[in-house]
Amino acid sequence: MVSPDPAGVPAEESGRRLLQRRFTARLLPQVRLLVEECAAREGLGEPRRGEFVLAVDEIAGNAVEHAGGAGRLVLRRVGDELECRISDAGPGFSEEVIPELLPGLDGAPKGRGLWLARLVADRFTVAAGAPGPGGPGAVVTLAVRLR
Amino acid sequence: MSARDTGGDRLLPVQHLRPGDHAFVSYGDDEVRWEAVTAFVRLGLARGEKVLVLPCPGVPEDEVLARLDFPGRSTVPARGRGQLVVSCMREVIRPDTEFTAARQMGRLYAETDRATAEGYAGLRAYIDMGWVRALGADVEVMACRETGAQALFTGRPYTELCAYDRRRFDRAVLAAMERAHPRSLLERLGSLRSLRAPDGALCFVGEADAAHRTAFGRSLELALAQTAPARRLTVDLTRLHFLSVGCAVGLLRLAMGAAGHDLVEVRCAAGQRRLLQRLGAGTVPRLALTEVVRAW
């Protein structure tokens, strides 16, 4: 099963923490279950709950594929929002790499997951993470309104 | 991803269980055994149901609670308020000491009524069938119970998951027990199964995540090749609990390239339909999305 994340939560974080996990590819099914469980408990109904879990999985999967195979997820209730922050220690990226328009089906296969995650989120940001041996890292934050 | 088709029409991911469902799951590993029960319990609690867990006799309660609690001590509040109860079959049939189906079902029926009276959305019970040997019960009695338990489920907010350890029951009993349940569950979280339905439709069951993108695509390619003479393929996604962007795009690209087909029909849930439309389903000729509302 998933092991507890020893890392602390930065002091500037607000809201009520619901979940904190480190993840690898192997643990993504469990992470989806836990995110779904927390979202249901906080009252996020379908179809938004399924879209939120999909968006979280796409961002976490992006960290696994492009940022050293692992990442860290923090899920919080912030006011009337459910917020998920996913950080990694990879080479970092900016929101500019996410296509504005969905690439055609015959086009490049990359970027659709992040494009979809941004589309379904009510709030979405990409920021630089804490520099590490793998690069500057990235922190992706997405949030959905619960009401 | 395997393509076994035994019991395929009843196969579901654990996340799809709903009130009124009576499901079978088997396990053969002391780690894997916790995956279905953990998901079953935690999703039930999150949905506001009361949850009764009857683990395999001999497994220490501390281990059961630790497994259910795997992110910290997250089910402690539910246990404190009585929403989550860990018990045993001996307790369920008390004051009787010998198992009878009538006694057990009567108690579970009453517990369902009690759960709703307490304000819960219903009752869900996880029953590890290790109790059969522990109580010296007859397998035939158990089989009669499993096939004759409709009154517990029909029109009632009761969900039951019966777990069988493949190391404790022989194959014939397991096969009979699987047939006796209206639902059968995938053993592991994050798994994907592809099946061919009696009408020829290619059915996916489970979670089509990034780990299964290649296998998902191969199943589609094979099905397209097999249906080339008929020029028509139906793909059923309704028993997928999770459809990743990568798998959804893979489906659309293969459908777009299936120039020899007159029709590729995709049966899907509302959320899957919205995802496929967002990813460009409308630009794929000969593709038809049919939204299916779960009838059970």
Q: Give the CATH number of the domain where residue B120 resides.
A: 3.40.50.300
Q: Bigger pLDDT: B267 or B98? A: B267
Cβ pair B190:A28 closer than 8 A: yes
What pLDDT, on a 0 to 100 scale, did the predictor assign at position B215? 98
Task: Using a pLDDT cut of 90, give the percent of chain B over it.
Answer: 78
Contacts of residue B206, Cβ cutoff 8 Å, sequence gap at least 6: B13, B186, B190, B191, B192, B193, B239, B240, B241, B242
CB-side neighbour CA atoms (13 Å) of B192: 27
Cβ pair B210:A28 closer than 8 A: yes
CB-based contact, B211 to chain A, within 8 Å: yes
CATH number of the domain to which B276 belongs: 3.30.750.24
| Residues B231 and B142 grouped into a single domain | no
Is B53 part of any domain? yes
| Residues B152 and B170 grouped into a single domain | yes
Decide if B86 contacts B53 (C-beta within 8 A).
Answer: yes
Contacts of residue B62, Cβ cutoff 8 Å, sequence gap at least 6: none
Cβ pair A106:B256 closer than 8 A: yes
| Residues B146 and B58 grouped into a single domain | yes
Nearest-Cα distance to chain B for A90, in Å, is 19
| Residues B262 and B122 grouped into a single domain | no
Q: Is A126 exposed, middle or buried (0-12, 13-18, 19+ CB in 10 A)?
A: buried
| Residues B240 and B280 grouped into a single domain | yes
| Residues B179 and B60 grouped into a single domain | yes
Q: What is the mean pLDDT of the segment spanning B153-157?
A: 95
Domain closes at, from B140, B159, B185: B185
Cβ pair B249:A47 closer than 8 A: no
**B286 neighbourhood in chain A, CB within 8 Å:** none
Is B118 part of any domain? yes
CB-based contact, A9 to chain B, within 8 Å: no
Decide if B183 contacts B196 (C-beta within 8 A).
Answer: no
**pLDDT range class, residue B3, cuts 50, 70, 90:** very low
Q: Which domain holds residue B244?
A: 192-291
Cis peptide bond upstream of A131, omega within 30:
no
Is B180 part of any domain? yes
CB-based contact, A42 to chain B, within 8 Å: no
| Residues B178 and B196 grouped into a single domain | no
Q: What is the mean pLDDT of the segment spanning B135-139?
A: 81
**B72 neighbourhood in chain A, CB within 8 Å:** 4
CB-based contact, A5 to chain B, within 8 Å: no
CB-based contact, B190 to chain A, within 8 Å: yes
Q: Using CB atoms, pick whichever of A19, A25, A50 lies closest to residue B211.
A: A25
Q: Bigger pLDDT: A15 or B240? A: B240
| Residues B52 and B150 grouped into a single domain | yes
Is B2 part of any domain? no
Q: What is the mean pLDDT of chain B?
A: 92
Is B273 part of any domain? yes
Sketch out chain A's domains with CATH numbers. Answer: 24-102+109-145 (3.30.565.10)
Domain closes at, from B185, B211, B242: B185
Domain closes at, from B169, B185, B201: B185
**pLDDT range class, residue B7, cuts 50, 70, 90:** low
CB-based contact, A78 to chain B, within 8 Å: no
Q: In this complex, how many residue pairs, one in chain A and one in chain B, have their CB atoms less than 8 Å apart?
A: 98
pLDDT in tens, B195-231: 999 999 999 999 999 999 999 999 999 999 999 999 9
What pLDDT, on a 0 to 100 scale, did the predictor assign at position B6? 45
β-strands B123-128, B158-165 pairing: parallel
Starting at the earlier edge strand, list the strands of the sheet with B232-243.
B192-196, B202-208, B232-243, B263-268, B287-291
Q: What is the mean pLDDT of the segment spanning A4-12?
A: 40
**pLDDT range class, residue A109, cuts 50, 70, 90:** low
Cβ pair B279:A57 closer than 8 A: no
| Residues B15 and B139 grouped into a single domain | yes
What pLDDT, on a 0 to 100 scale, did the predictor assign at position A133? 75
Phi/psi for A65 (5° steps) reads -75, -35
Residues in chain B: 296
| Residues B59 and B103 grouped into a single domain | yes
Is B156 part of any domain? yes
User: Where is average pLDDT lowest: A5-9, A70-74, B181-185?
Assistant: A5-9
Q: What is the mean pLDDT of the segment spanning B49-73?
A: 89
| Residues B221 and B162 grouped into a single domain | no
Chain B, 57 to 116: residues with Cβ < 8 Å from chain A are 67, 70-72
CB-based contact, A70 to chain B, within 8 Å: no
Most distant pair of Cα atoms in chain B: their distance? 68
Is B64 part of any domain? yes
Nearest-Cα distance to chain B for A134, in Å, is 23
**B15 neighbourhood in chain A, CB within 8 Å:** 33, 36
| Residues B259 and B281 grouped into a single domain | yes
Cβ pair A33:B67 closer than 8 A: no
User: Where is average pLDDT lowest: A104-113, A122-131, B34-43, B180-189?
Assistant: A104-113
What pLDDT, on a 0 to 100 scale, did the predictor assign at position A106? 81
Is B296 part of any domain? no
pLDDT in tens, B121-131: 999 999 999 98
Q: How many domains does chain B have?
A: 2
